[in-house]
Structure 1
């Protein structure tokens, strides 16, 4: 396999079998056979953000986003005895090493029919397998490049026990102005599993030099939908700031970021008593990644 240009040559020499996934380094599954691969520009990639459901007599995803950019596609057959979950988790674990956000995830029959994913969505008949042994996820990966990567990952077991994994990695050629929101279910899962959710699209300074956060309505509404499902949850909004200024100023600015998000939630009907705000400046560098600032939504346990 060709090595990618995204990370340094010295590090690449340590990594055998790296898929050249639109310059995002992805380690290949050990002993997997690459059935199909391509790398090309596209102006019409459909990123599925929901399950396949029967709508007006035909199977369709209930939520999707059309994107353009450089698309790398890989179809792999796993070694005998390896499950669809093994393959899916292998690639998902690698994505979690980056600044990573789950947009949507489904498993088994909750995804709809495997036939729809194979023939309607990916248009690869070999991906048609057993509905109960399938898994799909859509993810956003951000790097130092301002344009993110979007990853679609699908794994399935066929009736003959063969297991296939489909990996699509798209490096977009333009910023999605409205943002691509995580599903409310993905936000809830992050809060339940990790205890926190990083609110996307943080901007530390506007054109006038004022500190604020850019709150895209798609992300705000997804968080509101999650909170509407979990009416008994209380949250802490924790602001972080890594600007080269004294800690006191970082803490002041980061508290402002958290307060701005709280105000936006209140305007949409979320009760203020459910939310507390904190500003800790640069005191929690873990998880910073390439961000200069961020707000974390933290689930508060009573």
Structure 2
């Protein structure tokens, strides 16, 4: 009896040792992006669901109900990880680290927001992610969803949320979710990762056009368009105002698109790479993150082996 017990104990220890040795490999299988090295992993959760909800628009809470203009439910397998930035390191540093990896994988940005336009931080923390540590300042938060295909044809969704808490600590929540083969997600087009974007830029004005355009948007676009052979599509949209003709509305959209082209050219993204199109009010698709008066910027990478002159 003593011998059997000893053998059982030895077997258990061997099994635990084997599991411990395999754990990093199992965790790596659920992750495709390298972890930001200047942050501490505080918590990790398994994400396995046949109907996992991913937000693709700003959120709000009505009563106790979570509302979003655009969201999807998908069958996923993956992980969620909570990172705390090391002293002297900002959440923007970590965000850039992951954005660069996404760009290198040809990821498409499906939705992004920053600050108060995302909604209330406590709703993201408690209702979306179920993680109170992420409750921070509404003005100091960013949210991004991107998708890409890996080298074996698997499709991945990356959810990135960063926030600064009231105590000045900065956190990043990262979800890496592999989609089921039959999952349908608009924006993952199966074109080998050649399309990236859109970056959505609201605009206002008529004769003089102004944009909601900041350093973070510029960094994202620079990363998306880092291939010098990639083309940059700048599409101008506009609403049809009372008493306005279709031609006048389209002209406003064209002025906005040309102004954005000039801005990008001055920022270092040469106008020789631009394709400018005025859509005007011809496409009716308006949500809080896609207002009627907006610019949508897409980046089209060349096929492999191509010089980029499509």
TM-score range, shorter chain: 0.5 to 0.7
- Please say which structure displays the higher CA radius of gyration: 2
For residue 76 of structure 1, what is the aligned residue in structure 2? Answer: 83
Q: Aligned partners of 1:118 and 1:29: how far apart in 2?
A: 21
For residue 253 of structure 1, what is the aligned residue in structure 2? Answer: none
* Structure 2 residue 95 is the aligned partner of structure 1 residue 88: yes
Comparing 102-111 with 36-45, which one deviates more in the overlay? 36-45
Once the two structures are superposed, residues 30-77 of structure 1 have per-residue CA deviations (whole angstroms, 9 ceiling, x without a partner) of 242111113353212111111123558855222111111212110111
CA RMSD of aligned residues (A): 4.0
Whether the 8 Å CA contact 2:108–2:187 is kept in 1: the answer is no
Q: Aligned partners of 2:185 and 2:173: how far apart in 1?
A: 27
* CA displacement at 1:146 relative to structure 2: 3.1
Give the TM-score taking structure 2 as reference length.
0.56
Please state whether the residue corresponding to 1:93 is helix, strand or coil: helix
* Structure 2 residue 67 is the aligned partner of structure 1 residue 63: no
The partner residue of 1:22 within 15, 24, 30 is 30
* CA displacement at 1:80 relative to structure 2: 1.8
Q: Aligned partners of 2:146 and 2:172: how far apart in 1?
A: 16
Whether the 8 Å CA contact 1:71–1:168 is kept in 2: the answer is yes
* CA displacement at 1:150 relative to structure 2: 0.5
Once the two structures are superposed, residues 203-229 of structure 1 have per-residue CA deviations (whole angstroms, 9 ceiling, x without a partner) of xxxxxxxxxxxxxxxxxxxx98x6457
Please state whether the residue corresponding to 1:94 is helix, strand or coil: helix
CA gap of 1:283–1:177, structure 2 versus 1, over 3 A, is same
CA gap of 1:118–1:178, structure 2 versus 1, over 3 A, is closer
Give the TM-score taking structure 1 as reference length.
0.57
For residue 176 of structure 2, what is the aligned residue in structure 1? Answer: 169
For residue 118 of structure 1, what is the aligned residue in structure 2? Answer: 125
* Structure 2 residue 199 is the aligned partner of structure 1 residue 186: yes
Please list every run of 5 or more consecutive structure 2 residues that lacks an aligned counterpart in the other structure.
Answer: 1-20, 190-195, 202-216, 240-251, 259-276, 284-301
Please list every run of 5 or more consecutive structure 1 residues that lacks an aligned counterpart in the other structure.
Answer: 6-18, 199-222, 235-261, 271-279, 287-294, 297-302
Aligned pairs, number:
210
